[in-house]
Amino acid sequence: MRVLVAGGTGFIGRPLCDALRAEGHTVLVVSRDRSHAGQRAISWDAVPAAVNDVDAIVNLAGESLAAHRWSGAQKMRIIESRVATTRAMVDAVGAAQSRPGVLVNASAVGFYGPRGDETLDETAGPGTGFLSKVCQAWEGEAMRAEALGLRVARLRFRIVLAADGGALARMLPPFRAFVGGPLGNGRQWMSWIHRDDVTGLVLDTLAKDGYRGAVNVTAPQPVTNRDFSKALGAALARPAVMRAPASVLRLALGEMADMLLTGQRVVPAAAQRLGYRFRYPQLTAALRASARR
């Protein structure tokens, strides 16, 4: 299979491209940072021509949510980096003479908005708030590809665990320095997944026609922030009692703090129905594997 991967030099994209190549697929990376993408890298300007010669597209492009404080300008960058790039990708497919068969497009469980203790599978409707609006617009652009004859899977991510990037990389230093602990009251739900399972689920999605529409890319057992902190402390042989008050987080991070202080109790019903076998279904094993690397 020939696979075009947008965002293939990122935290999720790099190991995904390695896994695709290991399975014998040809990978063409789209990246603004082509210096790290290898020889098979193209710019976004080359996408319209490239989509004529691929079997599948994986679109992971998007500005990091935690890169900067959420000013008005940063919010626009977050939106445009997702919505505009997905629109450009689908437009390129629409103009192509030979179209790929599948679009695997990133999204996030932020689609559901803050939902308290409610258990959420892929049938749950959208929520409210900035992240939900971003995800709804993002997915809306991806869904346009269905009218072009593509199978479209919208992968809703949350916290992806690996020590070399993402949220866990930011958590490890304070926990190792004995100052880690719950955020706010610690009762907010955290949906999580090990990065190896992200790679596995994307490969499964490319291979199986049953993956269509929304797909929650989370492990089967979400936990509260308090339990997550306790498990991370145990994995590092550190206490996890230094609570970060909500007021301090809001002062330091502004609106971005909502992402940390609210959550979603998300379950991967679609992946389980289609028989995906999680390599790390348990948080303790996932954290130990990540912390060792």
The CATH number that applies at residue 168 is 3.40.50.720
Percent of the chain with pLDDT over 90: 88
Q: ∠172-174-177 over CA atoms, to 5°?
A: 105
Q: Cα–Cα distance between 74 and 68 in angstroms, integer?
A: 7
For 247, other C-beta atoms within 10 Å of its C-beta total: 10
Q: Could you give the C-alpha distances from 259 to 67, 91, 109, 117, 188, in angstroms and in order?
A: 13, 31, 11, 16, 10
Instruction: Read off the pLDDT band of 101 (50, 70, 90).
Output: very high
Spatial distance between the Cα atoms of 279 and 196, rounded to a whole number of angstroms: 7
Residues 216, 121: Cα–Cα separation, whole Å: 7
Residues 95-121, mean pLDDT to the nearest whole number = 97
d(CA 79, CA 206): 26
Q: Please state, rounded to an integer, the average pLDDT across all residues of the chain.
A: 94
- Residue ranges of alpha helices (H) inside the chain are 13-22, 47-50, 72-95, 130-143, 166-176, 195-207, 225-235, 246-253, 257-261, 269-273, 283-292
**pLDDT beyond 80 at 39:** no
Confidence of residue 137 (pLDDT cuts 50, 70, 90): very high
Q: What was the pLDDT predicted at 66?
A: 82
- The count of domains in the chain is 1
Count other Cβ atoms within 10 Å, centred on residue 143. Answer: 16
User: Is pLDDT of 36 > 60?
Assistant: no
Note the pLDDT of residue 214: 98
Q: Where are the alpha helices (DSSP H) in 24-180?
A: 47-50, 72-95, 130-143, 166-176
pLDDT reading at 24 higher than 90: yes
Q: Is the pLDDT of residue 84 over 80?
A: yes
What pLDDT sits at residue 86?
A: 97
Q: How confident is the model at residue 38 (pLDDT cuts 50, 70, 90)?
A: low
The predicted structure's pLDDT at residue 291: 83
Task: Look up the pTM and report it.
Answer: 0.94
- Give the residue numbers spanning the domain of 200: 2-292
18-22, 32-36, 48-52, 84-88: range with lowest mean pLDDT: 32-36
Query: For residue 72, what are the CA distances in angstroms to 57, 68, 256, 264?
Result: 31, 11, 12, 25
- Collapsing DSSP states into helix, strand and coil, what is residue 136? helix
